[in-house]
A = this chain, B = another copy of it.
Amino acid sequence: MQYTYAKRMQDVRASEIRELLKLTESPEIISFSGGLPSPDLFPVEDLKEVSLSVLENSGRTSLQYTTTEGFEPLRRWVAERMNTRLGTSFSADEILLTHGSQQAIDLTGKVFLDEGDVVLCESPTYLAALSAFRLFGCRFVEMPTDDDGMIPESLEEILRAEPRAKLIYTIPEFQNPTGRSWSLARKESLVRIATEHKVVVLEDNPYGELRFEGESLPSAATFDTIGNVLCLGTFSKIFCPGYRIGWIAGPREVIDKYVLVKQGTDLQCNTVGQYQIMEYLNTRDINQHIERIRADYRVKRDIMLETMDELFPDGVSYTRPQGGLFAWVTLPEHLDARKILVECLEEKVAFVPGGSFFPNGGHQNTMRINFSYATTEELREGIARIARVLRRNLG
């Protein structure tokens, strides 16, 4: 039959890129396209003991329904971790566990966005945040951004010009897709300006713990004086994404709204995962584990950059991320990264063309390279193959 979908579905369509990238699932392709952690670092042996111990001690509760808010000891751990690492002052009651931080983005749309509202975001920004927000009928304004973050003067100008501005979405640490980070001064300006304009800031921070060098910076929430900064986090990058456990932190009043909405959305996060993560945190040293991840990704980042430095042709520039999972490559303007991808797939190597990360289009001469998932050998070989294609196109 002819289905009458909701109007919001008009903007939802399978991307060409996604279809192309399905090809990268084949094992002979070296893929830098996903945002996947290295499975070599999953604590599989530890998790055997952890799983048994949870079933032994909490079989009846870990397999049962739990509260929408989430397992209290885990919320307490998250609050303490944020307070210690990021200088915030959240309590367990100000944390809602979510089905990955992706769900926290979606719930933010549900709680805050009406049709026609404006979301300010970095240019480029995280693709799946765009997909989530877009379903609530918002418009995106891409903020001029340099190596230190959004530019305060532009932010003020746009907030003055956009009365429907409702939300500023930002990833200030090792951003997806660029790998760039904000300075502390820019975080402060952001919150000051957002506060003047009574706009909510959503600080998404999935990669902050994966810093290879330099100093960790406090959260934008440390500058919050009126309760307009909400913070997202996740266990996906410091533990395992397969559990789908993330969180949102914010003022109790706002979190209470999210809880009500999450209840109708999916009742609660999976209980098994919440218990296993908590047992792991209680019996293992997560800092040591994260240090292993950092060390591994640091080596991979170095190999990637060395190979790019050696082989990428003139006219191609790229970021030098101090952490996270991604580097961002800018080609000469006349090159289309989608065409480069097609040629790269023939060479059995894949990346994501950067155009999709710009909500309002353009910038087809950019590409995102993930360096966490591939092995060091694959990184060397894969980057060399991309370099070959680029040289061919710039010859």
Q: Does A82 contact B (CB under 8 A)?
A: no
Give which listed residue, B40, B110, B256, contacts A6 with CB less than 8 A. B110
- Distance in Å: Cβ of A99 to nearest Cβ of chain B: 4
| A6-B112, A242-B272, A269-B244 known; A264+B135 contact, CB < 8 A | yes
What chain B residues lie within 8 Å of A8 (beta carbons)? 110, 114
Complex interface bits, A121-161 against B, C-beta within 8 A gives 1, otherwise 0: 00000001001101110000000000000000000000000
Interface size bucket, A side?
Answer: 35 or more
Q: Report yes or no: A9 in contact with B257, Cβ–Cβ below 8 A.
A: yes
With both beta carbons as reference points, the residue of chain B lying nearest to A128 in the complex is identified as B264
Taking a contact as CB atoms under 8 Å apart, the answer to whether B42 and A1 are in contact is: no
Asked if A394 is at the interface (CB within 8 A of a chain B CB), the reply is no
Interface string of A1-27 (1 = CB under 8 A from B): 111111111001110000000000000
A243 within 8 A of B: yes
Q: Does A5 contact B265, Cβ atoms closer than 8 Å?
A: no
Cβ contact within 8 Å between B55 and A253: no
CB of B42 within 8 A of CB of A64, answer yes
CA distance A9 to B254 in the complex (A): 12
Given A52-B51, A264-B132, A272-B272: A241 touches B63 (CB 8 Å cut-off): yes
| Docked CA distance A226–B3 (Å) | 10
Flag if A270 contacts B273 (CB, 8 Å): yes
Q: Given A51-B52, A266-B106, A3 and B39 touching (CB < 8 A)?
A: no
What is the copy number of this chain in the assembly?
Answer: 2
Chain B hits for A56, CB < 8 A: 48
**Given B2, B136, B227, B260, which contacts A12 in the complex, CB threshold below 8 Å?**
B260
CB A8 to nearest CB in B, in angstroms, measures 7
Of the candidates B3, B106, B276, the one whose C-beta lies within 8 Å of that of A265 is: B106
CB of A308 closer than 8 Å to a CB of B = no
Residues of B close to A270: CB separation below 8 A: 99, 242-244, 270, 272-273
Tell whether, in the assembled complex, residue B14 and residue A256 are in contact, meaning their CB atoms are under 8 Å apart: yes
Alpha-carbon distance A131/B51, docked complex (angstroms):
34
- Docked complex Cα distance between A9 and B271 (Å): 27
Given contact pairs A44-B60, A260-B12, A111 touches B244 in the complex (Cβ within 8 A): no
Given A103-B265, A103-B266, A265-B102, A111 and B64 contact (CB-CB distance below 8 Å) = no
Binary contact readout A305-349 vs B (1 if CB under 8 angstroms, 0 otherwise):
000000000000000000000000000000000000000000000
B44 with A59: CB separation less than 8 A: yes
- A367: chain B residues within 8 A (beta carbon): none
Q: What are 25 of the A-B contact pairs (CB < 8 Å)?
A: A4-B166, A5-B111, A6-B113, A6-B117, A9-B261, A39-B60, A42-B60, A44-B55, A47-B55, A48-B51, A48-B55, A51-B52, A63-B241, A63-B242, A65-B241, A66-B242, A102-B265, A110-B135, A128-B263, A128-B267, A134-B264, A242-B270, A242-B271, A244-B269, A272-B272
Besides the contacts A128-B263, A243-B270, what 6 more A-B pairs have beta carbons closer than 8 Å?
A2-B198, A36-B65, A44-B63, A65-B242, A103-B265, A272-B272
